[in-house]
């Protein structure tokens, strides 16, 4: 079995990333097959539960209030709207619902109480529930865990050195602190990044080093290709070559062998052949459904056709066990 390491050096990661492409894919595919059922791909469906109007200045994001994008601000959804969406996603084959809110951080108010109710409701539908709500304190993470949350997504996006170029309204340390709070609550961690922001290859390697040197590897690492959106500072960034996506995925697979590596944003611009290379390189999860949070994504039916052609199968929910809903939060179910 592959050894799990938390001490990868920049030089080692760089040597893997830069190895001849076909060697890299072959090595990643080998690690993948040693550690996972390579044909099993986890499907998450994204739902934007609160859209736009965010006070942060993330240069890539269509939901930041300060940029003039076509995104319409929408207040927090109702629990019923969320369960309806969850039902549809489940029927289409998704095992996880990931709810995203355009918040800088969670506040202890009625909106958070409603998110807690959403988590309980979706969890009781036999779906894994994931949230991405911005920064969290330890007690907020604990409340989400007690309600039955499965995973929390909080991306590093790029390297620590490059972070200030992309976001000025919070620090890398704050990002890492939230991930620590999520860990303390025993939630699973989903954390990854975006390529195509204008970062250097060294930044990509440094980000992968931060992720792989965490005391415990994130259970899932999403690799997003920037979706350039009109009105954001990064609207005119050139598209990333598919080879960069393949190198990122393969390197993540090799250094974090047990992690779910998610081929995330950017699939509408990729052919089935491009995506097949990413699966070969160790990707074993996707976001499915015709919308990511605010931008388009391939239709479920197209993805199912791709699964059929490539011989992939959707992973069932809760294969690694269920979260324990505490008595205290369970009593609050309405
Ligand atoms: N507001 C919360 C936060 O920033 O943590 C949660 C929602 S935010 C939209 C979730 C993630 O989406 C970001 O961390 C970023 O990695 C990704 N994202 C946002 N806009 C993107 C874009 N245009 N292209 C690719 N990924 C994007
Ligand atoms: C992640 O890494 N990518 C997803 C999810 N986690 C929350 C978000 C992608 C957003 C793409 C831009 C949009 O649709 O607004
Ligand atoms: Fe806000 Fe999240 Fe978008 Fe940044 S990425 S502007 S925090 S919604």
Q: How far is CA 252 from the centre of its chain?
A: 14
- Report the distance separating Cα 167 and Cα 164, nearest Å: 5
User: What's the pLDDT score for residue 333?
Assistant: 38
Give phi and psi for 289, each to the nearest 5. Answer: 115, 145
Class of domain 10-316: alpha beta
- Report the distance separating Cα 125 and Cα 138, nearest Å: 26
Distance 59 CA to ligand 2 centre (A): 14
- Report the distance separating Cα 193 and Cα 213, nearest Å: 15
Confidence of residue 320 (pLDDT cuts 50, 70, 90): confident
pLDDT in tens, 136-182: 999 999 999 999 999 999 999 999 999 999 999 999 999 999 999 99
- Of ligand 2's listed atoms, the one at least distance from the Cα of 71 is 15
φ/ψ bin of 148: left (φ > 0), alpha (ψ from -120 to 50), beta (otherwise):
left
Helix locations, the chain, DSSP H: 10-17, 21-35, 79-91, 110-123, 138-146, 160-166, 172-184, 201-212, 242-255, 272-280, 300-310, 327-330
- Which one is catalytic: 27, 96, 130, 183? 130
- Which one is catalytic: 58, 131, 175, 183? 58
- Report the distance separating Cα 311 and Cα 292, nearest Å: 24
The pLDDT > 90 percentage for the chain reads: 90
Q: How far is CA 52 from the centre of its chain?
A: 19
User: What's the pLDDT score for residue 274?
Assistant: 98
pLDDT tops 70 at residue 326: no
pLDDT in tens, 51-77: 999 999 999 999 999 999 999 999 999
Domain layout of the chain by residue ranges: 10-316
- 220 - beta bridge partners? 190, 260
User: What's the pLDDT score for residue 171?
Assistant: 98
Instruction: Report which of residues 314 and 229 the model is more confident about.
Output: 229
**Average pLDDT of the residues in 117-140:** 96
- Report the distance separating Cα 334 and Cα 328, nearest Å: 13
**Average pLDDT of the residues in 86-102:** 92
pLDDT tops 60 at residue 328: no
Distance 103 CA to ligand 3 centre (A): 7
Active-site residue flag, 131: no
pLDDT tops 50 at residue 332: no
Q: Which residues contact 42 (CB under 8 A, 6 or more apart)?
A: 95, 96, 260, 262, 284, 285, 286, 314, 315
Residue-averaged pLDDT of the chain: 94
pLDDT tops 80 at residue 221: yes
Give phi and psi for 304, each to the nearest 5. Answer: -65, -35
pLDDT in tens, 262-283: 999 999 999 999 999 999 999 9
**Average pLDDT of the residues in 206-217:** 98
**Average pLDDT of the residues in 303-318:** 91
**Average pLDDT of the residues in 290-318:** 92
Active-site residue flag, 278: no
Tell me which residue has its CA closest to atom 2 in ligand 3: 102
Q: Does 270 sit in the ligand 1 pocket, CB within 6 Å?
A: no
The pLDDT > 70 percentage for the chain reads: 97
- Of ligand 2's listed atoms, the one at least distance from the Cα of 291 is 14
pLDDT tops 90 at residue 120: yes
- Report the distance separating Cα 225 and Cα 241, nearest Å: 9
- Of ligand 3's listed atoms, the one at least distance from the Cα of 102 is 8
Distance 2 CA to ligand 3 centre (A): 36
Q: Does 223 sit in the ligand 1 pocket, CB within 6 Å?
A: no
User: What's the pLDDT score for residue 31?
Assistant: 97
pLDDT tops 80 at residue 317: no
212 near 13, Cβ under 8 Å?
yes
Pairs from 88-94 (Cβ < 8 Å, separation ≥ 24)? 89/45, 89/47, 89/127, 89/289, 90/125, 90/126, 90/127, 92/45, 92/288, 92/289, 92/300, 93/43, 93/288, 93/300, 93/304, 93/314, 94/43, 94/44, 94/45, 94/127, 94/288, 94/289, 94/314
User: What's the pLDDT score for residue 334?
Assistant: 35
């Amino acid at each position: 079995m592959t050894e799990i390491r938390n001490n990868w050096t920049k030089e080692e990661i760089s040597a893997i990333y830069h190895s001849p492409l076909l060697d890299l894919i072959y090595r990643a595919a080998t690690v993948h097959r040693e550690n996972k059922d390579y044909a099993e791909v986890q499907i998450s469906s994204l739902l934007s539960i609160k859209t736009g109007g965010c006070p942060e200045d993330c240069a890539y994001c269509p939901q930041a209030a300060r940029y003039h994008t076509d995104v319409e601000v929408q207040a927090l959804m109702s629990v019923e709207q969320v369960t309806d969406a969850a039902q549809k996603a489940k029927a289409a084959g998704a095992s996880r619902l990931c709810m995203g809110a355009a918040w800088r951080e969670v506040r202890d108010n009625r909106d958070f109480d409603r998110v807690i109710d959403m988590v309980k409701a979706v969890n009781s539908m036999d779906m894994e529930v994931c949230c991405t709500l911005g920064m969290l304190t330890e007690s907020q993470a604990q409340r989400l865990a007690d309600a039955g949350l499965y995973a929390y997504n909080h991306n590093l996006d790029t390297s620590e050195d490059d972070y200030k170029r992309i976001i000025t309204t919070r620090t890398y340390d704050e990002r890492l602190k939230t991930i620590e709070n999520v860990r303390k609550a025993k939630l699973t961690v989903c954390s990854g990044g975006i390529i195509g922001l204008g970062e250097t290859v060294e930044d990509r390697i440094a980000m992968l080093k931060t992720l792989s040197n965490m005391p415990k590897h994130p259970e899932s690492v999403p690799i997003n290709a920037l979706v350039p959106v009109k009105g954001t500072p990064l609207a005119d960034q050139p598209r990333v070559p598919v080879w960069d996506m393949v190198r990122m995925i393969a390197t993540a697979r090799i250094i974090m062998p047990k992690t779910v590596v998610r081929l995330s944003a950017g699939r509408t611009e990729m052919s089935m052949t491009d995506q097949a290379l990413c699966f070969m390189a160790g990707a074993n999860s996707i976001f499915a459904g015709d919308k990511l949070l605010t931008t388009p994504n391939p239709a479920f039916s197209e993805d199912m056709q791709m699964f059929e052609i490539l011989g992939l199968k959707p992973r069932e929910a809760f294969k690694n066990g269920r979260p324990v809903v505490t008595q205290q939060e369970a009593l609050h179910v309405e």
